[in-house]
Amino acid sequence: MTTESLTRRFQDKIDQELKIEPKDWMPDAYRKTLIRQISQHAHSEVVGMLPEGNWITRAPSLRRKVALLAKVQDEAGHGLYLYSACETLGIRRETLIEELLSGKAKYSSIFNYPTLTWADIGAIGWLVDGAAIMNQVPLCRCSYGPYARAMVRVCKEESFHQRQGFEILLTLCQGAADQKAMAQDALDRWWWPSLMMFGPSDKDSIHTAQSMRWKIKRFTNDELRQKFIDMTVPQAEVLGLTIPDPELQWDEASGHYHSGPIDWEEFGQVLRGNGPCNAERLEARQRAHQEGTWVREAAQAYAAKQIEESKKVG
């Protein structure tokens, strides 16, 4: 069959909402796009463990400590599912991790911001996991089967994380003045970076059109960002917190909130490696990897010996 007819059959399948599976023929560009997106997603889960991990040893109660520890562990699990999904495209996890550690692969810029107070743990759960859900729920219908299925598992846990984050903030907002101020400060710092999680605005997004044709993406960046704002503003009202956007107001005509302009200069800076924690995050991953080298080698050597042994016995 010619590439042309294969491509047509492939696109037909997608148009009929059928899933593409690892053994199916797929265009190179589709495979590359998925590898880039899924690995970036996996790296984000793993690097995302760091800012929240920063508060595990200082969590304010045993209940919160256990919940945060379990949450960060969930993110490690998400990283694992996603690396596995990515491996079905014919690339090894080791290679993907090398790309992260060398700085070649990207991860979500949101994790280059620091967690300065306990309220940041609430804000991350509420806003960052909240934004992640907005992005990921449509991915449960992604045309690539393994990615879609990984997302179904991930989304269940993310919505739990979001509720947990909101509940942390609600406790603060119902508490002492210091606690409420801590919550407001966290919202002030995390609001705009959370909106940037949806990526560049549609007119500047280079991948969107093709990804929509391939049904990897179902909504544009701006559509998802708007959905997120519409969902989050009423929740901020419940908390009694003020969203740090003076232009924010309900627009009767469109049925959406109108919001002010995003500082894309800041977005670009963080993306280029000049965010507050880019170097630290990468170094932490590099250190863990490097210090773990002897452990991984020993585990491999031991496994190899076991195989040898079983051959002798067998």
Partner 1 sequence: MTSTWQPLDHFLLMRGDDCLVLGHRLSEWCGHGPVLEQDMALTNIALDLIGQARLYYQYAGARLGQTEDQLAYLRTERNYFNAWLVEQPNGDFAHTIVRQFYYDWYENALLEVLEGSADEHLAAIAAKSRKEARYHRQFSSEWVIRLGDGTEESHQRMQVALNRLLPYVRELFENQPRHQMLIADGILSDVNGLWEGTEKEMKAVITEATLSFPVAAALPARGRDGLHTEHLGYLLTELQYMQRTYPGLTW
129: contact with Fe ion by CB under 5 A: yes
Q: Which of 50, 53, 201 has its CA nearest to residue 111? A: 50
Q: Which of 143, 128, 174, 142 has its CA nearest to residue 10? A: 143
120: contact with Fe ion by CB under 5 A: no
- Site map (CB under 8 A) of partner 1, residues 111-140, x = contact: -------x----------------------
Residue 114 CB, nearest distance to partner 1 (Å)? Answer: 15
299: contact with partner 1 by CB under 8 A: yes
Q: Where are the alpha helices (DSSP H) in 128-200?
A: 130-136, 145-173, 177-196
Residues 6+ apart with CB under 8 A from 216: 30, 33, 34, 37, 139, 142, 143, 144, 147
Plot region of 245 (φ>0 → left; ψ -120 to 50 → alpha; else → beta): beta
Q: Which of 62, 186, 181 has its CA nearest to residue 120? A: 186
Binds partner 1 (CB under 8 A): choice among 18, 25, 73, 98: 73
Site stretch for Fe ion (CB under 5 A), options 43-51, 106-114, 208-216, 217-225: 43-51
87: contact with Fe ion by CB under 5 A: no
Binds Fe ion (CB under 5 A): choice among 43, 64, 78, 281: 78
Residues 6+ apart with CB under 8 A from 198: 131, 134, 135, 221, 222, 224, 225, 228
d(CA 193, CA 276): 12
* Residue 251 main-chain phi, psi, to 5 deg: -110, 105
Residue 124 CB, nearest distance to Fe ion (Å)? Answer: 9
With contact defined as beta carbons under 8 Å apart, do 243 and 236 qualify?
A: yes
269: contact with partner 1 by CB under 8 A: no
Beta bridge partners of 20: 144
Binds Fe ion (CB under 5 A): choice among 41, 43, 161, 180: 161
Tokens 């590099």 belong to 286
175: contact with partner 1 by CB under 8 A: yes
52: contact with Fe ion by CB under 5 A: no
> Looking at residue 110, what DSSP letter applies?
G
d(CA 220, CA 109): 19
Cβ proximity to partner 1, 14 vs 46, nearer residue: 46
With contact defined as beta carbons under 8 Å apart, do 59 and 68 qualify?
A: yes
252: contact with partner 1 by CB under 8 A: no
Binds 272: which of Fe ion, partner 1, none (CB < 5-8 Å by kind): none
Binds 57: which of Fe ion, partner 1, none (CB < 5-8 Å by kind): partner 1
305: contact with partner 1 by CB under 8 A: yes
Site stretch for Fe ion (CB under 5 A), options 97-105, 134-142, 152-160, 237-245: 152-160
List contacts with Fe ion (CB under 5 A).
Answer: 45, 75, 78, 129, 158, 161
List contacts with partner 1 (CB under 8 A).
Answer: 46, 49-50, 53, 56-62, 64-66, 69-70, 72-73, 76-77, 79-80, 83, 118, 168, 171-172, 175-176, 178-179, 284, 287-288, 291-299, 301-302, 305
